[in-house]
């Protein structure tokens, strides 16, 4: 039964990756839709980022003093000015670790 | 003109920074599967067959918690439905590819790979072989994901939990979109999506992952109307 679920889940996931790319003809999408599609990254990724910062492991809102919030602010500022993916991630992690290992100890 | 292998290599390099979150996440995914009591082969099969981090963890948690297959499969489908949006965007760049190649490349479409490819292809509009870039990102992420889940399965969660490396996941995605903050219309769409995700977080089947982008895209559509 577990194997069955994995395989069906795999098919469903593969379909989600393949459907729009391989089965839809570009001509079927109007210019308006194409314009809106420019916003896909801006529309998808905050829905992963916000809960990752503002919720804890139990699905409850973190407090305003949560180290994740400050780590994210540092990453945001560093990323904005450096335009570097690696600098964004590393600065966020380092500032987060600095808070939890030095300031909160 | 860039050769195919050079474009492929550029794709590899573009996703390397994301390994800071992908590798720990893969290790955690493998280790969680074992902790939940699944056979190692089954845990690995989720990486090979489903190949989608968050959805694999939710899938195993649901099944081990006694949820029905239908609930587990539905959750995976809902979480991964965001790929439909990636496919729609990529279809514009890859429309010249043959059907078979599209079927092949589809397996490798992943969040970070999509985001980096989208960025690069937009900046290099007359690239002759953009699919090599997409493949470079996707294949790299695929290998690292397979290897890191396998090491999590074998070695357990060997990264100390105190490090809080889960926080690397929102940071990776923040790194992906931080450059778009320069445009006010993007900021608006991001805020709509972010706040929608906070409000919809407890909706069934983790559907906030697809509902929030839909809300944000509708907001983008309305915004475009007003801009004209």
Q: Is A42 on the interface with B (CB under 8 A)?
A: yes
Judgement on whether residues B192 and B155 belong to the same structural domain of the protein? no
Judgement on whether residues B122 and B162 belong to the same structural domain of the protein? yes
Judgement on whether residues B211 and B128 belong to the same structural domain of the protein? no
Judgement on whether residues B21 and B71 belong to the same structural domain of the protein? yes
Judgement on whether residues B23 and B48 belong to the same structural domain of the protein? yes
Extract long-range pairs of B123-130: CB within 8 Å, 24+ residues apart.
B127/B2, B127/B7, B128/B1, B128/B2, B129/B2, B129/B4, B129/B7, B130/B7, B130/B93, B130/B94
Judgement on whether residues B157 and B109 belong to the same structural domain of the protein? yes
Contact B178 A79 (CB under 8 A): yes
Question: What's B37's DSSP letter?
Answer: T
Radius of gyration in angstroms for the set of CA atoms belonging to chain B, rounded to a whole number:
18
B60 touches B28 (CB < 8 A): no
Within A19-84, residue ranges assigned H as helices are 31-37, 40-44, 46-54, 67-82
Q: How far is CA A53 from CA A35, A44, B52, B119, B170, in A?
A: 30, 15, 21, 24, 7
Q: Which of A20-34, B121-135, B161-175, B189-203 has the highest mean pLDDT?
A: B189-203
* Position B1 pLDDT exceeds 90: no
Chain B positions touching A68 (Cβ under 8 A) are 167, 170
The beta strands (E) that lie in chain B are given as none
Distance between CA A24 and CA A17 in Å, rounded?
Answer: 12
* Position B128 pLDDT exceeds 90: no
Say how many C-beta atoms besides its own lie within 10 A of residue A30's C-beta: 9
Q: Identify the residue among A2, A20, A44, A68 best suited for mutation to test binding to B, counting B beta carbons within 10 A and taking the highest.
A: A44
Judgement on whether residues B125 and B46 belong to the same structural domain of the protein? yes
Number of H helices, E strands in chain A: 6, 0
Q: What is the pLDDT of residue B156?
A: 87
Q: How far is CA B98 from CA B85, B95, B151, in A?
A: 20, 8, 36
Structural domain boundaries enclosing B17: 4-179
> Residue B43: phi, psi to the nearest 5?
-60, -45
pTM value? 0.93
Q: Is B104 on the interface with A (CB under 8 A)?
A: no
Judgement on whether residues B206 and B171 belong to the same structural domain of the protein? no
Contact B42 A92 (CB under 8 A): no
Encode pLDDT of A6-54 as tens digits: 999 999 999 999 999 998 877 777 888 889 999 999 999 999 999 999 9
Contact B197 A50 (CB under 8 A): yes
Distance between CA A57 and CA B207 in Å, rounded?
Answer: 18
Shortest distance between the Cα of B5 and any Cα of chain A, in A, equals 23
Q: Which two tokens stand for residue A95?
A: 């500032």
Judgement on whether residues B79 and B162 belong to the same structural domain of the protein? yes
Contact B91 A24 (CB under 8 A): yes
Judgement on whether residues B15 and B76 belong to the same structural domain of the protein? yes
Q: Is B213 on the interface with A (CB under 8 A)?
A: yes
| Tally of structural domains, chain B | 2
Distance between CA B93 and CA A21 in Å, rounded?
Answer: 10
Judgement on whether residues B187 and B175 belong to the same structural domain of the protein? no
């Amino acid at each position: 039964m577990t194997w069955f679920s994995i395989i069906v889940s795999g098919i469903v996931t593969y379909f989600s990756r393949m459907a729009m790319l391989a089965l839809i003809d570009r001509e079927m999408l109007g210019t308006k839709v194409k314009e809106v599609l420019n916003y896909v990254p801006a529309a998808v990724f905050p829905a992963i980022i916000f809960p990752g910062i503002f919720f804890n492991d139990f699905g409850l809102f973190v407090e305003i003093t949560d180290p994740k919030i400050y780590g994210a602010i540092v990453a945001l500022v560093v990323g904005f000015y450096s335009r570097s993916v690696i600098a964004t991630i590393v600065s966020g992690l380092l500032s987060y670790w600095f808070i939890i290992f030095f300031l909160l100890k | 003109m860039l050769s195919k292998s050079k474009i492929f290599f550029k794709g590899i390099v573009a996703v390397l920074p994301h390994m800071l979150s992908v590798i720990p996440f893969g290790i955690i995914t493998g280790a969680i599967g074992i902790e939940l009591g699944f056979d190692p082969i089954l845990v690995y099969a989720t990486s090979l067959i489903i190949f989608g981090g968050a959805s694999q963890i939710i899938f195993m948690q649901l099944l081990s918690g006694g949820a029905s297959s239908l609930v587990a499969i539905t959750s995976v489908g809902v979480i991964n439905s965001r790929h439909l949006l990636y496919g729609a965007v990529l279809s514009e760049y890859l429309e010249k590819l043959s059907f078979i190649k599209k079927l092949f490349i589809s397996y490798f479409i992943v969040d970070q790979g999509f985001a980096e490819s989208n960025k690069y292809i937009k900046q290099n509009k007359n690239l002759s072989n953009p699919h090599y870039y997409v493949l470079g990102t996707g294949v790299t992420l695929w290998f690292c994901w397979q290897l890191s889940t396998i090491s999590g399965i074998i070695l357990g969660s060997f990264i100390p939990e105190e490090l809080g490396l889960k926080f690397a996941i929102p940071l990776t995605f923040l790194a992906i979109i931080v450059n778009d903050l320069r445009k006010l219309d993007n900021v608006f769409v991001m805020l709509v999506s972010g706040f929608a995700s906070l409000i919809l977080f407890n909706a069934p089947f983790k559907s906030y992952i697809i509902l929030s982008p839909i809300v944000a895209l509708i907001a983008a559509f309305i915004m475009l109307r007003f801009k004209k």
